[in-house]
A and B are shown apart, each in its own frame.
Chain A
Amino acid sequence: MLSNFDFSVILKSLPYLFGQGMVFTLSLTAMAAAGGVVIGTLLAMARLSGIPGVWHLAKGYVELCRSLPLVLVIFWFYFLVPYIGAYVTGSSTPIQVGAFPSALITFTAFEAAYFAEIMRAGIQSIPKGQTAAASALGMNYWQTMSNVVLPQAFRNMLPLLLTQTIVLFQDTSLVYVLSLTDFMGAASKVAQRDGRLVEMYIFAAIVYFAICFSASFLVRRLQRRVAIIR
């Protein structure tokens, strides 16, 4: 019962939970989001390019990622990355990849599919006349994209990209299935070591809630500020 709720377990493990766990979670989120947005934008451009083969490939990749559960994708990459590494370096045995790089590759590749869908909507939200105007000014495809379309697409989609990043932040807790020490992994390791599951899991829930709730509040405020008045 809650009468023997032991706060001291939480207090003692704070340095471990935040110093190791939260640092892992936040750096994974930030790096995967940055990589995911870049690759996602390229995927969206490929999908809208209309070049046979290229857009099929991009569409296939996005649809495949979106129909698989993240847990399965985490397992896939965990076992696949050593073989890809061996292929790239030409080594005959699978190479060892650390836990963090493996998780980073997984989340970047997986979330890229979701960011791609957002960016596709963003690119399509820019009126056709603007690309036509850019062509009329003699800009090529890359100049049009980087100077005209993408800056506006990013601005329009910023709230959605950030909301997806909050989802990504929550999803990183699933590295638990590889026994990595993210925030949730750290909480669960302390919980099992000290037999204090109730305290640790409730605390983890409160921390996640506080972060995600304030983050989505900020996103809503930002949304009002960046909205382009037409």
Chain B
Amino acid sequence: MNYNWNWSIFFDQSPEGTGTYADMLLSGLQWTIVTALCAWVIAFFLGSLVGVLRTLPSKTANAIGTTYVEIFRNVPLLVQMFLWYFVLPEVLPRQLGDAVKQMPDAPFYTAVVCLGFFTASRVAEQVRAGIQALPRGQRMAGTAMGFTTYQTYRYVLLPNAYRIILPPLTSEFLNNLKNTSVALTIGLLELTGRARSMQEFSFQVFEAFTAATILYVLINLVVVVAATFLERAVAIPGQR
């Protein structure tokens, strides 16, 4: 065992000339957080839509929702990432494809869209489970009150369903956050990728990965604490 520990490495200048190694990791952390948040916006809204489709009485809506979930859940995220990044620009009409390829920050946008669509399939399953966990009477009561289907979902079913599925949604959010690391394969400069570059530049493997590990654990803690507060804030007084 002859590993040379050098914890002061974080204060050395990185060969990229943009600051110290610590700066490099922190900028990676920023990319991780921004990507995860943007992807979550897509995942949440698209996932809710697909989840609702699967609970509608219409057979067509059901089939569309089920197809979406099956496709995005049964293909590995890495493969999906490559499809969006390498394959999509080629199968689009030439002009559009070229425009996509020349986009600045293409890895970032690709990662956001890919993760958004991928996570949406998981969110959809949670939303569906949440809606199905509600007593049948709630939907019927909505109808009896003269609500349209949209109104029933908007004012009766969804507000209750989201409260039920808040804990599993939190873990989906954390998965989404961790999954941003897969985007290093298409060149996104996120935390894991930055730790890997730091290891390649400085050969201080374990310092780089320890720092990244600590940062991931910290964001996890922040999210878990924030979710607890959110749960308390939206809880319906008197329930439970």
Interface residues of A (CB under 8 A from B): 1-2, 64, 67-72, 75-76, 79-80, 83, 86-87, 92-93, 170-171, 173-174, 176-177, 184, 188, 197-198, 201-202, 204-205, 208-209, 212-213, 216
Question: Number of B interface residues, CB 8 Å?
Answer: 41
| A35–B225 alpha-carbon span in the complex (Å) | 33
Asked if B9 is at the interface of the complex by the 8 Å CB criterion, the answer is: no
- Give the Cβ gap from A121 to chain B, nearest Cβ, in Å: 14
Q: What is the bound-complex CA distance between A212 and B73, given in angstroms?
A: 9
17 A-B pairs (CB sep. < 8 Å) = A1-B90, A1-B94, A67-B174, A68-B217, A71-B182, A72-B181, A75-B192, A75-B196, A75-B209, A201-B79, A201-B83, A205-B75, A205-B83, A208-B76, A212-B75, A213-B70, A216-B74
- Are B184 and A177 interface neighbours, CB within 8 A? yes
Closest to A169 in B: B76
For the complex of A and B, the 4 pairs showing the least CB-CB separation, nearest first, are: A69-B181, A212-B74, A69-B178, A170-B76
B78 contacts across to A, CB distance below 8 A: 173-174, 176, 184
What is the interface of chain B, defined by CB distance below 8 A to chain A? 1-3, 70-71, 73-80, 82-83, 86-87, 90-91, 93-94, 174, 178-182, 184-185, 192, 195-196, 199, 205-206, 209, 212-213, 216-217, 220
Given A76-B209, A87-B1, A174-B78, also A71-B90 (CB < 8 A):
no
Closest Cβ of chain B to A109, distance in Å, is 14
Complex Cα gap A208–B70 (Å): 12
Complex partner residue of A201 from B82, B206, B217, CB under 8 angstroms: B82
Are A209's CB and B74's CB within 8 A? Answer: yes
Q: Complex formed: what's the CA distance from A213 to B121 in Å?
A: 14
In the complex, what distance in Å separates the CA atom of A204 from the CA atom of B2? 42
For B73, list chain A residues within 8 Å (CB): 212
Chain A nearest CB, measured from B169 CB (Å): 16
Q: Is the CB of B91 within 8 A of A201?
A: no
A144 CA / B19 CA spacing, docked (Å): 59
CB within 8 Å: A-B pair count? 106
Give min CB distance, A55 to chain B, whole Å.
19
Taking CB as reference atom, which chain B residue is nearest A92? Answer: B2
Whether A208 contacts B74 by the Cβ 8 Å rule is yes
Residue numbers in B under 8 Å from A198 (CB-CB): 86-87, 90-91
On whether the beta carbons of A72 and B216 are closer than 8 Å, the reply is yes
- Residues of B close to A171: CB separation below 8 A: 76
Whether B185 contacts A72 by the Cβ 8 Å rule is no
Whole-angstrom CA separation of A72 from B215 in the bound complex = 12
Chain B residues contacting A170 (CB-CB under 8 Å) are: 75-77
Determine how close the nearest CB of chain A comes to the CB of B87; give it in whole angstroms. 5
Cα of A1 to Cα of B93 in the assembled complex, Å: 7
Residue of A nearest to B70 (CB): A213
Q: What residues on A are CB-neighbors of B206 within 8 Å? A: 79-80
Closest Cβ of chain A: how far from B92's Cβ, in Å?
A: 9
Beta-carbon contact of A204 and B79 below 8 Å: yes
Given the interface contacts A176-B78, A208-B79, does A67 sit within 8 Å of B217 by beta carbon? yes
Q: How far is the CB of A79 from chain B (nearest CB, A)?
A: 4
